[in-house]
């Protein structure tokens, strides 16, 4: 691997911080009553001026630092190619609906893959500037709000599933998650928007397990969070226990078998319950218009 990953991390953290600062400015104005441009991406949900501004900042900085690298970004469908030696995977604003709901639960996420293996990851929350990052083989770290020095991250070592806290979606509740929790007698929940934020709850010790038991997430949702979670000692697979592949045929960016993330202590028990839950049919989803106070334009999910 002919690259200094510490330099790649510095570039990723810089781009993520600048994007987060721009989002934070737009978010503050939006909370104070300004409108924000919103358009629909159909089944892929809404996109706002904040998504676009953050995307432009990140792509400009990464192209400047690594002009020969591929960059796969949620907001650039023409970039959905994963076969390069070095490929950045970018979600400039993970949790756009949460941004529009003004609850602060959204993230900036930048990951770097080398031949399909995540090697650098940065996740930052613009509302608080809580930041986590990792380099493969060097551990995972967090700079929490108000801290001046980073702390080393370690995932939960709980061995009793009934004592575990499950990170669950604020916007979407699946019957598969319900069945998963009932099998393991799990009753504790930590509710949050944003896939990246829910995984960050695990790596920072606020939750113990996250199951996304359906299609819906994309490669940019998992690349950086997976690396940070694994470097914090966790296990991260599809909901059926398979590795997530980051080299695909052009245009294939969906994680069709979902996500399961937890600590290693009883992962096989959790995986068995996840596989059983996967057999439960999902209800049909009908597009619904999202009207958000202070926003202009429409959005569907």
Query: What's the whole-number mean pLDDT along residues 86-90?
Result: 96
* Mean residue pLDDT across the chain: 91
Domains in the chain, ordered, with CATH?
A: 5-153+292-296 (3.30.540.10), 161-278 (3.40.190.80)
Instruction: Answer yes or no: is pLDDT of 229 > 80.
Output: yes
Q: How many CB atoms lie under 10 A from the CB of residue 283? A: 7
All residues at 6 or more sequence positions from 138 whose CB lies less than 8 Å from its CB, including other chains: 5, 231
Q: 257-295, pLDDT tens digit by residue?
A: 999 999 999 999 999 999 999 999 988 765 544 434 344
Q: How many CB atoms lie under 10 A from the CB of residue 247? A: 15
Distances (CA, A) of 39 to 10, 151, 177: 32, 39, 30
CA dist 298 and 5 (Å) reads 41
Which parts of 102-185 fold into alpha helices (H)? 175-184
Q: 12-62, pLDDT tens digit by residue?
A: 999 999 999 999 999 999 999 998 888 876 666 788 999 999 999 999 999
Q: 242-254, pLDDT tens digit by residue?
A: 999 999 988 899 9
Please report which confidence band the pLDDT of residue 296 belongs to, taking 50, 70 and 90 as the band edges.
very low
């Amino acid at each position: 691997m002919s690259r200094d990953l510490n330099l790649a991390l510095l570039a990723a953290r810089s781009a993520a911080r600048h994007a987060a600062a721009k989002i934070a400015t737009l978010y503050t104005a939006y909370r104070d009553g300004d409108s924000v441009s919103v358009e629909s991406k159909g089944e892929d949900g809404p996109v706002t001026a904040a998504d676009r501004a953050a995307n432009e900042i990140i792509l400009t900085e990464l192209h400047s630092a690594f002009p020969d690298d591929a960059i796969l970004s949620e907001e650039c469908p023409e970039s959905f190619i994963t076969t390069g030696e070095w490929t950045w995977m970018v979600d400039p604003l993970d949790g756009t609906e949460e941004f529009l709901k003004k609850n602060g639960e959204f993230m900036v996420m930048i990951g770097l893959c080398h031949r399909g293996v995540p090697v650098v990851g940065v996740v930052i929350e613009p509302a608080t500037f809580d930041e986590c990052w990792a380099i493969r083989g060097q551990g995972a770290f967090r700079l929490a709000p108000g801290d001046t020095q980073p702390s080393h991250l370690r995932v939960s070592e709980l061995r009793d599933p009934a004592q575990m806290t499950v990170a669950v979606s604020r916007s979407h509740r699946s019957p598969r998650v319900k069945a998963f929790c009932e099998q393991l007698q799990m009753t504790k929940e930590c509710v949050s928007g944003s896939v990246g934020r829910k995984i960050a709850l695990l790596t920072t010790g606020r939750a113990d397990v996250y199951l996304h038991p359906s299609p819906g997430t994309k490669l940019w949702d998992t690349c950086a969070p997976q690396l940070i979670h694994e470097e914090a000692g966790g296990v991260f697979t599809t909901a059926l226990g398979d590795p997530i592949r980051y080299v695909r045929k052009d245009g294939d960016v969906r994680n069709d078998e979902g996500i399961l993330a937890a600590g290693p202590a009883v992962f096989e028990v959790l995986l068995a319950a996840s596989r059983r839950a996967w057999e439960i049919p999902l209800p049909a989803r009908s597009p619904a218009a999202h009207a958000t106070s202070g926003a202009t334009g429409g959005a569907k999910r």
